[in-house]
Structure 1
Amino acid sequence: MKKILWLLLCVAVLTACSEKKEEVVFPLEMKVEKFAGVNQDGVPITLSNLKGKVWVADFVFTHCDTVCSPMTANMVQLQERLADEGVKAQLVSFSIDPVQDQPDVLKDYASMFQADFSNWDLITGYDQEFIESFANRSFMAPAAKLEGSNQYVHSTSFYLVNQEGVVVQKYEGAAEQPFDQIIKDIKSLQ
């Protein structure tokens, strides 16, 4: 009987030792181009500032009359969930209206949602042509001013970016957001 128990224990230990961590394969691989802007506090932010960090990005503008408010509220909820689970990730919101969205405007806007700026940069400080091209090329996302309007067409997705600055996944950002999956994916990159 002791031999059987010993044998079962050895098999269990060997099985546990041989298990490999399941590697997550992400569907996207889009390299984020270099950018330079300033955050809500006027602090310069570039792609280099984010190297080595896992981050979640989106595109918003403060006078949006449709999806930006729900997206920002969802980003706050994601931020809270990350904090509750002790998961480190940077949040980055690129303004697609850099003329209107000066740093103080971005800070006031995010403060209305009770954003925590310790790990969230709302970025502006580039020109309109740059942000439209940057969104298109780096995130395969639309970003353009609607002709004859103060509104913009833009993506409603949240984008997961790895430590090397590569977009690896995207999620719905305006409606039902898969918080558990986002957090699981962030953990898998760390």
Structure 2
Amino acid sequence: MQKWKILIGISCLCVLLAACGKTTNFKAEKDIEIQNFQYTNHENKTVTLDDLQGKPWLALFIFTSCTTVCQPMMANMADIQDALKEKGIEDYRIVGFSVDPEVDTPKKLANYLKNYEVADESKWDLLTGYTQQDIEKLAVKSFQTLVKKTEGEDQVTHGTSFALVNQQGHVVKTYSGFTDVPKDEIVVDVESIIQDSK
């Protein structure tokens, strides 16, 4: 009789542990509401904040003539997408904001994306179609990051973080996007935020 009690107790414990394993409970570190926008992507299609609602997305700031941080950042994001694909995670977007919109046309951004072996281009939106002042304001107000182009120069100063945006359009976490990128953590967070919404 005692053995049966022990076995039942162990079985109950296993069930409880299994249930606990399914609980993801993503912990937001930020809550920054993104201001509404209507921009143009690399396929020359209009993309609004409303279009991105309902799915989490990863955001980054890049430009096509960047000679320093942008190429590693794009490669890191492509690696993250590879890892998401390996885990079968599909319900997300990747959004790159050009910080040099007067130079970066949709065609230039489309050609730029082709430089990287991305697992699924359909999940990417490289955005342009706004003024320099617009992107500098959006960066500060919606992502708490810097974008600054000095007149007469072809390089743009900008932040190198990746931002995780939730299904409601709020930045909830940021990560290094250039060096020491926590790729596994980002994948887990994207998976968790999707699971928590179900």
Give the TM-score, by structure 2 length.
Answer: 0.89
1:181 shift after superposition: 0.1
Residue aligning to 1:79: 81
Residues 1:174 and 2:175 aligned together? no
Q: Which residue of 1 is the match for residue 122 of structure 2?
A: 118
> What is the CA deviation profile of residues 81-106 of structure 1, one whole-angstrom value per residue up to 9, with x for unaligned ones?
11111112210000011111000000
- Seen in structure 2, the aligned counterparts of structure 1 residues 10 and 138 have a Cα distance that, compared at 3 Å, is same
**Contact persistence 2:28–2:172 (CA under 8 A):** yes
- Fraction of identical pairs, as percent: 38
Pick one of 67, 70, 85 that aligns with 2:69: 67
Shift of 1:12: 2.4
Are 1:131 and 2:165 an aligned pair? no
Measured against aligned partners, the alpha-carbon deviations of 1:139-189 in whole angstroms (never above 9, x if no partner) come to 001011024311111010000000000101111111121110001111111
CA distance in 1, matches of 2:43, 2:18: 49
Change in 2 beyond 3 A, CA 1:126/1:13: same
User: What is the one-letter code of the residue matched to 2:23?
Assistant: K
Between 1:80-89 and 1:131-140, the stretch displaced more is 80-89
Gaps of 5+ in 2: none
CA contact (8 A) 2:31 2:170 kept: yes
Counterpart in 1 of 2:102?
99
3-state DSSP of counterpart to 2:122? coil
CA distance in 1, matches of 2:46, 2:178: 28
For 1:79 and 1:18, the matched residues in 2 are separated by 28
Deviation beyond 6 Å, 4+ runs, structure 1: none
1:9 Cα deviation from its structure 2 partner = 4.3
How high is the TM-score relative to the length of structure 1? 0.92
Letter in 2 for 1:34: N
